[in-house]
Chains A and B, each alone.
Chain A
Amino acid sequence: MESRRDRFEAHRGEAGYSWLYRASVLNGGTRVLFTILVISLAAGLFAWYARSENDPAPDSLFGLIYAIIGSLLLLFAATLYTLRKRSHRRRVVGGLRASLGWHMCFAIIGLAFLGMHSFGELNPRTGTYALYGMVALVISGLIGRMLDRLMPRLIAGEVHQVLTEEGDDRIETISQKLQAIVVHNTQDIRGFAVSGQTKSAASNSLVPLAQNRPVAWQDQTLHTPWDLAYISLESTPQELSREAGQFRFVPDEKSELLRPGALMPGSQEHISELEEVRQAMQHELFYRYVIRYWRAFHVLLALVTLGLLVWHVVYALQLMIPPLMH
């Protein structure tokens, strides 16, 4: 019975694009365990040192060791993923995802080490600014991962609105329907009654007019050009005015299209549907930009933090080297 159900599930296939989806990757668990283990060990050592020593300070030997380990881990986190991403050697399917996982893992461990290196001294000095930079960097990375989960689902929702069930562009489909309405109304306008005076004028013209051709428009006679080579730059009665309400495609407040019954039933729904699709496309583009610019922001923050770290290292060396020289 179970196997039959499994076969049915396999035949039907996977469905749903849930927010609560969790990838079943075994290595992810290993990395989380490794991170917790290393941070716990470092915290244990830190607690032991803070209790046993009289002067727990960032520039103590213990503090310096933590600073070096933390900085190396952060640099490793930054370079490992970046180089792996750009490298074309020894690539395997899924390898980059593992690198991204280690990137996050080393960044969190590195931040923990540097936090402990400060020994709670958060005076407005170079080290504190560098630490704040690193906190912001790690938080931006974590927010980025959340956005990576959130944004594609929002995009898919918008794309679902923009595409028809068959996968065609809904704007095109709606536009075709609206075009049909416009054509229908144009045909209605061509069916206007012709006055007797204009009829006689039309019968006197040198060029015979087609039966269904409009010969009058708003009580004005439609002139037939005697010379086909002659093209007047003046607007002719046959030309449709852009301001004429019945030819406006998208109505505004002044448009006669807003008059009830001006168009075929359903035109308003099509126009509002068109607006919804347009908005969905704008939202889609916005969400894509959020993904892209948040990544750029994270990289920018990494560069700023690197600068602050270098500033702090130079400052610390200036304080430490002179006493060693004497």
Chain B
Amino acid sequence: MFKNKSSGHGVRLHKTGPQVIQELHACIGCNECLLACPALGEPLTIDVLNRETLSGPISRPVAQFARSCYQCGACVAPCPVGLHRDAMMMWLKVRLLRAGWGE
């Protein structure tokens, strides 16, 4: 019924953990995705976001950003290296979700 397009402006599916890790390592930290984000309310550095997306405890600002993100995909087009920040945010959301259920 729906086709998954891997390039252009098509709707993308989630990415797996190894794919997210690969993208996080490829991030050059230019901040373009955060500048283009209409959901980010308070200043946040890309280093902190990348580190906490990958593993470990999630701080309050990063968690709030993940909860505010509505997967609009505005962060994908400005990325100069073609990464999918929306998929990374989804990974972060699933981590938050699982951490919440684990309580």
Contacts and interface: CB of A to CB of B under 8 A. Distances in A.
A201 B60 CA distance: 76
| Residue in B34, B62, B102 whose Cβ sees the most chain A Cβ within 10 Å | B34
A12 interface: yes
A12 B100 CA distance: 11
A152 B93 contact: yes
B4 A285 contact: yes
A15 B102 contact: yes
Dominant SS among interface residues on chain A: helix
Contacts of B59: 10, 13-14
A13 B100 contact: no
A107 B58 CA distance: 36
A55 to B, nearest CB: 45
Interface in A141-171: 148-149, 151-152, 155-157, 159-160, 162-163, 165-169
6 contacts: A13-B99, A15-B58, A159-B14, A167-B17, A167-B91, A285-B2
Given A23-B41, A91-B35, A167-B91, 20 more contacts: A13-B59, A15-B100, A15-B103, A23-B68, A25-B41, A85-B38, A93-B35, A94-B40, A94-B43, A97-B37, A148-B72, A149-B70, A152-B90, A155-B93, A159-B94, A163-B16, A167-B20, A281-B13, A286-B2, A291-B72
Interface of B: 1-2, 4, 11-14, 16-18, 20, 31, 34-44, 52, 56-60, 62-64, 66-74, 90-91, 93-94, 96-100, 102-103
Interface of A: 10-18, 21, 23-25, 85, 91-94, 96-97, 99-100, 148-149, 151-152, 155-157, 159-160, 162-163, 165-169, 281-282, 284-286, 288-289, 291-292, 295
